[in-house]
Amino acid sequence: MRTKVAIIGAGPAGLLLGQLLHKAGIDNVILERQTPEYVLGRIRAGVLEKTAVDLLDLAGVSERAHQEGLVHEGIELMFDGARHRIDLQELTGGKHVTVYGQTEVTRDLMDARNNAGLSTIYEAEGVQLEGIDTNAPQVRYRQNGVEQTLQCDFIAGCDGFHGVSRKSIPADVLRTYERVYPFGWLGMLADVPPVSDELIYAHTPRGFVLCSMRSETRSRYYLQVPLTDKVEDWSDEAFWDELRLRLGADVCKTLVTGPSLEKSIAPLRSFVAEPMRHGRLFLAGDAAHIVPPTGAKGLNLAASDVGFLYEAMTDHYLERSDRGIENYSQRCLERVWSAERFSWWFTTLTHKFPDTGEFGLKMQAAELNYLIKSRSASSALAENYVGLPMRMEDLLAARA
Q: Report the interface residues with ligand PHB, using CB under 6 A.
A: 45-47, 199, 210, 212, 220, 293-296
Pairing label, strands 5-8, 28-31: parallel
Long-range Cβ pairs for the range 359-365 (8 Å, 24+): 364/79, 364/203, 365/79, 365/80
The verdict on 44 binding ligand APR (CB under 6 A) reads yes
Compute the distance between CA of residue 330 and CA of residue 339 in angstroms, rounded to an integer: 14
Name the β-bridge partners of 2.
151
Q: Which is nearer to ligand PHB, 4 or 96 (CB)?
A: 96
- Which one of residues 20, 21, 39, 70 is an interface residue with ligand APR (CB under 6 A)? 39
Of 79-87, 238-246, 298-306, 366-374: span binding ligand APR (CB under 6 A): 298-306
Q: Indicate which residue of 100, 141, 181, 201 is catalytic.
A: 201
What residue 294 binds from ligand APR, ligand PHB, none (CB within 5 to 8 A, per partner kind)? Answer: ligand PHB
Pairing label, strands 120-121, 97-99: unpaired
Compute the distance between CA of residue 254 and CA of residue 13 in angstroms, rounded to an integer: 36
Q: Which is nearer to ligand PHB, 105 or 276 (CB)?
A: 105
Distance from CA of residue 115 to its chain's centroid? 25
- Which one of residues 74, 160, 292, 324 is an interface residue with ligand APR (CB under 6 A)? 160
- Which one of residues 6, 20, 21, 45 is an interface residue with ligand APR (CB under 6 A)? 45
- For the chain, helix (H) and strand (E) counts, in that order, are 12, 20
User: Is residue 297 flagged as an active site residue?
Assistant: yes
Q: Are 16 and 306 in contact (CB under 8 A)?
A: yes
Q: Indicate which residue of 141, 221, 328, 385 is catalytic.
A: 385
Pairing label, strands 70-72, 97-99: antiparallel
What residue 47 binds from ligand APR, ligand PHB, none (CB within 5 to 8 A, per partner kind)? Answer: ligand PHB
| Phi, psi at 398, each rounded to 5° | -70, -35
CB of 322 to ligand APR, least distance (A): 24
CA angle, residues 389, 163, 342, in degrees to nearest 5 = 30
Q: Are 288 and 305 in contact (CB under 8 A)?
A: yes
User: Is residue 292 flagged as an active site residue?
Assistant: no
Q: Could you give the maximum distance between any two Cα atoms of the chain, in Å? A: 64
- Which one of residues 6, 7, 14, 28 is an interface residue with ligand APR (CB under 6 A)? 14
What residue 137 binds from ligand APR, ligand PHB, none (CB within 5 to 8 A, per partner kind)? Answer: none
What residue 220 binds from ligand APR, ligand PHB, none (CB within 5 to 8 A, per partner kind)? Answer: ligand PHB
Q: Which is nearer to ligand APR, 257 or 294 (CB)?
A: 294
Kindly state the helix (H) or strand (E) to which residue 367 belongs, with its residue range.
helix 357-373
CB of 220 to ligand PHB, least distance (A): 4
The verdict on 10 binding ligand APR (CB under 6 A) reads yes
CB of 379 to ligand APR, least distance (A): 25
The verdict on 139 binding ligand APR (CB under 6 A) reads no
User: Is residue 201 flagged as an active site residue?
Assistant: yes
The verdict on 49 binding ligand APR (CB under 6 A) reads no
Q: Which is nearer to ligand PHB, 164 or 209 (CB)?
A: 209
CB of 98 to ligand PHB, least distance (A): 12
Query: CA gyration radius for the chain?
Result: 21
User: Is residue 289 flagged as an active site residue?
Assistant: no
CB of 84 to ligand PHB, least distance (A): 17
The verdict on 33 binding ligand APR (CB under 6 A) reads yes
| Phi, psi at 397, each rounded to 5° | -65, -40
Q: Which is nearer to ligand PHB, 98 or 329 (CB)?
A: 98
Compute the distance between CA of residue 269 and CA of residue 251 in angstroms, rounded to an integer: 29
Residue type, 361: L
Q: Indicate which residue of 72, 263, 289, 351 is catalytic.
A: 72
Q: Is 160 left (phi over 0), alpha (psi -120 to 50) or beta?
A: left
Q: Are 268 and 181 in contact (CB under 8 A)?
A: yes
Work out the end-to-end distance of the chain between its first and last CA atoms, rounded to an integer number of angstroms. Answer: 31
User: Is residue 275 flagged as an active site residue?
Assistant: no
Side-chain-side CA neighbours of residue 389 (13 Å): 7
What residue 298 binds from ligand PHB, ligand APR, none (CB within 5 to 8 A, per partner kind)? Answer: ligand APR
CB of 247 to ligand APR, least distance (A): 25
Q: Are 272 and 288 in contact (CB under 8 A)?
A: yes
Known catalytic residues?
72, 201, 293, 297, 385
Q: Which residues are at the interface with ligand APR (CB under 6 A)?
A: 8-14, 31-34, 39, 44-45, 102, 124, 127, 158-160, 162-164, 285-287, 298-299, 302
